[in-house]
Amino acid sequence: MWQKIKNNTVRTFLFIGGLSLLLAVATPTNKYFEIAKNLDIFATLFKEVNAFYVDEVDPKKTIETGINAMLASLDPYTNYIPEEDAADYRTMTTGEYAGIGSLIGVIEDKVVITMPNEGFPAEKAGIKIGDQLVKIDDVPITTTTTSDVSKLLKGKPGTIVKIEIVRNGETKHFTVTRSTIIVENVPYYGMVTNNIGYLKLTEFTTNAGKEVKKAVKKLKSDGATSIILDIRENPGGLLFEAVNISNVFIPKGNLVVETRGKQEDWTQEYKTLGTPTDTKIPLVVLTSSGSASASEIVSGTLQDYDRAVLIGRKTFGKGLVQTTRQLPYNAQVKVTTAKYYIPSGRCIQALDYSHRNTDGSVGKVPDSLMVAFKTKQGRTVYDGGGVTPDIKVEGQYLAPITISLLSKAHIFNYANQYYYTHPTAPKLKGFSLSDAEYADFVAWLKDKNYDYTTKLENAIAKLEENKSNDPMVEKIKDKLEILKKEVAHNKEKDLQTHKEEIQSLLEEEIMGRYYFTKGEIACSITHDNDVAEAIALLNNPAKYNRILEKNQP
C-alpha cells in the first residue's frame, strides 16, 4: 500500500459515519425487473391500505416508516432526510446555521440555555447558561422537545427573535438579531506545560484542517516543542477535512485514505495536497471508543506513518463512507457508497452489515479473523475493529453519587448559583475550589434529593429477588440483613470519599459560566488521566521514540 499513487479529484462531499443509497444500480436485466416489480407492489399495496384501512392513513408518516425500515436493514448510517430535516443535516455537515448561537437542553423538565456560543448573538445579548426559555416570539414553550424549540430560535440571518426567559425567579426579555453561526471544530487550544501544547478537535466540518493548522502554529509560537491532539468522542464528518488535518503533520503527496465502492467513481485515493505545518514535532493523539470515522482516518493514518503515538482506548470501528444523493421534493438520502482503507492497507470497520445473524443482529469481526498489517517502520497493526492505541489507558468511571448529582442537575444548578454570587471571573487556568467552598456545596445539598444505589446494594437486591429460585438465599437471609446494614451508603460520607471527582466536575461547570466551552475544556484537562499519560510520555523522548520503532507494542 506504500507504492506511489496518483491523485484523483472528487467534487462530491463524502461523509464518514453517514448514510446510504436507496437503490443500487445493477446490470442484470432480471434485477431491473425485480426492482420494477417490487416498486409496483409497494405502490399498489399503499393504495389499497389507504383506500380500505378502517382509519385515516397519514401518507407521509406511513411511507417514511417504510423507507426508514428499508434503509435500517442495510446499515445504521444509511438514512432518509426529508425536506424539513435538511437544515439540521446541513448544520451537521458544514458546522454552519442561522440562529442565536446557543445550545439548549432539558434540565428538571424545563428547556434551558446550556451553552451560548461565545461571540454570537445569544451571548452578546446577555443570555446566560441556566436561563429557562419561557416564550419565543410570543409562542409559549410548552414542550420539552428541544428540536421543536430550536426551530423557533433559528431563522434567516438579520431577522429578529424575541425571547422571554426566567433567571433566578425573575422574568427577562431579550430582542436578538439572528446571524450565521459557524461552529468551531477546535473549541480550545493552549499550553498544558511550558513546552507541551494541547488542542481539542470536536468536529470535522468545513475548515477543520485550517483550524488545526492555525492552532498548531500558535502553540509552536507559544513555545510548544510537542503537541497533544485530542479527538476523543469525535464522531467524524467530512472526509476531505480528515485528509487536510493529516496533512498538517505528514508531507505533501502521501496517501491518507483510499475508498473502495461498487461503483467505479467511488473507488478513489486521497493524498495530501499541501505543505505540512510540522512533520517532526513529537505528537500524541488521544482516542476513545467514541472516536469514529474521520477521527479514525486521522489517528490511523498518523499511526500507519509512525507519525504519532496513540493513547487512550480503541476507536469505534466505522470504516464506511457515505454520500448524499438528491431525491425529489428536496429530500435527500445519505447512502453508504464505499469502505475506506488507511495507508497500511487496513480497513477498521468493526461490523459486517452484509452478513447478519439469523435474528438480524450484526456481529463484530472476531479476533481470529483480524489481519495483520505493517506501519511504515514495520510495526504490526490490525484491521477489523477500530484503531488500537499504542498505550491503552482505562476510562475514568464515575461513582454512583457523582452520577446522581449530574443526572439530577445539582452540579449544573450549583454552578449557576456560584456564578451569580461570584461576579469576578477567576483566571482561565489554575482555578480550584477551596475546601470551604466545597463545604458550601455540601451544605447546599442538605435539602436536595440525590439518592442512588451502589453496585453492592444492587447485587444484594438481585439476590433477594431470586430467593424463590434459590433455597440458599433464604438460608442466609439473616446474614444478608447484616450485610445490607453494613453496605448501606452514607451520602455525606460519599461526598467526602468521592470529593476529588465531584469537585473536578463542579470546577469544570463553574468555569463554563465564565469562559464557556473553552473554560470547561481548559479546566477538565488539568485532571485528565489521558492527558497526564500524554504529558509523561512527551517528557520522556526515549520512550516516545522506542514506541515508534519496529516490532514495539
Does the annotation mark 147 as catalytic?
no
Euclidean distance between CA atoms 500 and 353, whole angstroms: 43
For residues 226 and 188, give the distance between their C-alpha atoms in angstroms, rounded to a whole number. Answer: 17
| Annotation marks residue 550 as catalytic | no
Contact 347, 370 (CB under 8 A): no
- Bridge partners, residue 162, by sequence: 175
Q: By the 8 A CB rule, do 315 and 348 touch?
A: yes
What does the radius of gyration of the chain's CA atoms come to, in whole angstroms?
27
**Other CB atoms within 10 Å distance of the CB of residue 182:** 16
Set 128, 213, 271, 318: catalytic member: 318
CA 163 to chain centre: 29
- DSSP summary character for residue 285: E
Whether the Cβ atoms of residue 401 and residue 498 lie closer than 8 Å to each other: yes
What type of residue is 164? E
Per DSSP, the three-state class of 304 is: helix
The answer to whether the CB of 383 falls within 8 A of the CB of 371 is yes
**Cell for 174?**
431579550
Closest CA to 18 of 339, 322, 338: 322
Nearest to 117 by CA among 179, 189, 171, 165: 179
Report the distance separating Cα 336 and Cα 324, nearest Å.
9
Q: Mind giving me the DSSP string for 159-209?
A: -EEEEEEEETTEEEEEEEE-EEEE--S--EEEESSSSEEEEE---B-TTHH
552/544 Cα distance (integer angstroms): 11
Q: Any idea which residue has 422574568 for its cell? A: 171
Exposed / middle / buried, residue 22 (Cβ in 10 Å: 0-12, 13-18, 19+): middle
Q: Which of 131, 230, 304, 528 is catalytic?
A: 304
Annotated catalytic residue, options 293, 344, 504, 524: 293
DSSP labels, 487-525: H---HHHHHHHTHHHHHHHHHHHHHHHHHHHHHHHHHHG
Residue 322: closest CA among 11, 5, 6, 21: 21
Query: How many Å apart are CA 327 and CA 94, to the nearest integer?
Result: 20
Query: How many C-beta neighbours within 10 Å does residue 56 have?
Result: 6
Q: Which of helix, strand or coil describes residue 99?
A: strand
How far, in Å, CA of 538 to CA of 552, rounded? Answer: 17
Cβ 122 vs Cβ 102: under 8 Å: yes
Q: Is position 222 annotated as part of the catalytic site?
A: no
Q: Which residues are catalytic?
A: 293, 304, 318
